[in-house]
Amino acid sequence: MQAAPPGVLIANSSVSTGSLPTRQPSRPVPPTRGPGDPSGGTPDPPAPRRLPTPIRPGAVGPQDVALIVVSALSSFCLVWVVFYQLTSLTGGLGFLVCWYAGFLALTWFGTSQVIERQVATDRVAGILVWTAGLLIIGIVIFIVAWVTYKAVPSIHWSALFTKDQRTLAASDPNLLNHVGVLQAIVGTLEQVLMATLMGVPFAIATAVYLNEVGTGRTARLVRTVVTAMSGTPSIVAGVFIYSIFIFTGVLHYSGFAASLALVVILLPSVTRVVEEVLRVVPSGLREASLSLGAPEWRTVWSVVIPTARSGVVTAVLLGVARIVGETAPLIFTAFGSQVLNANPLVHDQGALPLVILSNTHAAQQVLIDIAFQAAFVLMSIVLILFVLARYFSRTKSKKSGRAQPTEDDMMARYFLPIPIERSPE
């Protein structure tokens, strides 16, 4: 075909019947000047080309929605009759579970009748997976909303982050004006920070050993030990540190002792996740690095870990999330305190989980409020840490889109017109 002006395509069906040869030598002219144009002869402006209506094969249609809705409704009715009327069972949860099971069964049955058995099985599996996902979201939203709902109305923002609990007296009606959880915030941050600083390098080094260096029996032994360690009940970690360091008088009850107990918990979980992440790094990258004359430690440091960077950050986040709410190991180590103690090395130190532990069962409503406030602060800290860590782990990979000047001064050269002396050709 010749390069025709846009409007001609529409008239294709009428043109193609024998009139094509006459058009062949003509230049592509604007459609207004079509002297020998046999398609009607009128110089009509280019009509908009009609696109076919797009469809999505496999999209959810009215029939599918109807099947699901009908299944849900009839399951509800059926289970209601059976559950409450015939068997006189009680309880909402049991009803919900039965309703869901009936819904699945009816969906499968209905779909297999209306459409096909394989489609029905596929759909039921899909519903199960969707349910799991939605359930998780629901649980998280519920927890966050519940804690927020219970905590926020009683919070005095001016006191929460600036006052400790040294003036705590449950009988005081204006208690929350001058009592906060500052000592616990400081304690938790210090303990978690120290545990992370001690535990994460250790964990990454162990993972590197397991994946890059160790071979055979030794590595297998280490891996088994790490796995066993991740099964250590957290209270055992606390007792361990207590009996080794505090009972023997080496350390006081202190934030540092608490962080040691937290390391015991942090270490195996971070190690295992980092190991899995490192294993995914293609071995071709290691070979490429070695073939450039890099020593092995360089290969790990400059190629393997940066490649796995985002996964390593995730591993660290999981570890921090694991320890930030740990309560049991702190009981024997940090011990808890109502007074601000910013020095983690000596004396009892507060921690948010300990505040929650000691106040939740209190008789006075104001103490329960404090427990919920501590829970709220704890959740917020975790959230902020996650957002920060995600942000910092992603800044580097954003560069892939467009060329941008980097902080590296080596790169800055390319934005200056500097002549190259040596011609390589």
Partner 1 sequence: MTTYATTPPPPVPEDVSGLGHNRGTDFSGEAGQIDADGVHAWFSGRLVLAGVTLTMEKSKVTALIGPSGCGKSTFLRILNRMHEVVPGAQLAGSVRLDGLDIYGPGQRAMETRRHIGMVFQKPNPFPAMTIAENVLAGLRFSRVSAGDKGDLVEASLTKAGLWKEVKDRLGELGGALSGGQQQRLCIARALAVKPRVLLMDEPCSALDPTSTLRIEETIKDIADEVTVVIVTHNMQQAQRVSDYCAFFLAEENLPGRVIEAGRTETIFGNPTDQRTFDYVNGQFG
221 touches partner 1 (CB under 8 A): no
Q: Give the number of C-alpha atoms closer than 13 A to the C-alpha of residue 315, restricted to the C-beta side.
A: 25
Map the footprint of partner 1 across residues 42-101, applying CB under 8 A. Answer: none
Q: Could you tell me the smallest distance in angstroms from the CB atom of residue 392 to partner 1?
A: 15
The verdict on 217 binding partner 1 (CB under 8 A) reads no
Q: Strands, E, within 16-80: which ranges?
A: none
Q: What type of residue sits at position 314?
A: T
Tell me the number of residues near partner 1 by CB under 8 A: 43
Task: Give 314's contacts (C-beta < 8 A, 6+ positions apart).
Answer: 273, 277
Binding mask 108-137 for partner 1 (x = CB under 8 A): ------------------------------
Tell me which residue of 323, 353, 321, 205 sits closest to 260, measured CA to CA: 323
In the complex, minimum distance from the CB of residue 375 to partner 1, in angstroms, rounded to a whole number:
38
User: What's the token pair of residue 89?
Assistant: 């069972």
What string marks each residue from 269 to 308 as x (binds partner 1 by CB under 8 A) or -? -------------x-xx-xxxxxxxxxx-xx--xx--xx-
Residues 236, 306: contact at Cβ < 8 Å?
no
Please identify, using beta-carbon distances, which residue of 173 and 293 lies nearer to partner 1: 293
Residue 122, number of CB atoms within 10 A of its CB: 13
Measured from the CB of residue 287, what is the shortest distance to partner 1 in angstroms? 6
The length of the chain in residues reads 425
Q: Which amino acid is at 3?
A: A
Stretch that binds partner 1, among 7-15, 56-64, 315-323, 408-416 (CB under 8 A): 408-416
Name residues contacting partner 1, limited to 382-401 (CB under 8 A).
396-397, 399-401
Contact 241, 176 (CB under 8 A): no
Question: Rounded to the nearest 5°, which phi and psi values hold at 150?
Answer: -80, -25
Q: What is the 3-state secondary structure (H, E, C) of 251-278?
A: CCCCHHHHHHHHHHHHHHHHHHHHHHHH
The minimum distance between CB 201 and partner 1, in angstroms, equals 19
Residue 402 is a binding residue for partner 1 (CB under 8 A): yes
CB-wise, 135 or 292, nearer to partner 1?
Answer: 292
28 binds partner 1 (CB under 8 A): no
Q: Which is nearer to partner 1, 205 or 362 (CB)?
A: 205
Q: Are 2 and 23 in contact (CB under 8 A)?
A: yes
Closest CA to 222 of 272, 263, 261: 272
Q: How far is the CB of 153 from partner 1 (least distance, A)?
A: 47
Nearest approach in angstroms of CB 196 to partner 1 is: 23
Given the rule CB under 8 A, which of 158-166, 238-246, 337-345, 414-422 is the region that contacts partner 1?
Answer: 414-422
Q: By CB under 8 A, which span of 9-17, 125-133, 272-280, 417-425 interacts with partner 1?
A: 417-425
* 222 is a contact residue toward partner 1 (CB under 8 A): no
E strand or H helix that includes residue 223? helix 216-230
End-to-end CA distance of the chain: 45
Tell which one of 215, 217, 231, 391 touches partner 1 (CB under 8 A): 215
Instruction: Classify burial at 336, counting beta carbons within 10 Å of its beta carbon; exposed 0-12, middle 13-18, buried 19 or more.
Output: buried
Instruction: Name the site residues for partner 1 (rule: CB under 8 A).
Output: 213, 215, 282, 284-285, 287-296, 298-299, 302-303, 306-307, 309, 396-397, 399-406, 408, 410-411, 413-414, 418, 420-422, 424-425
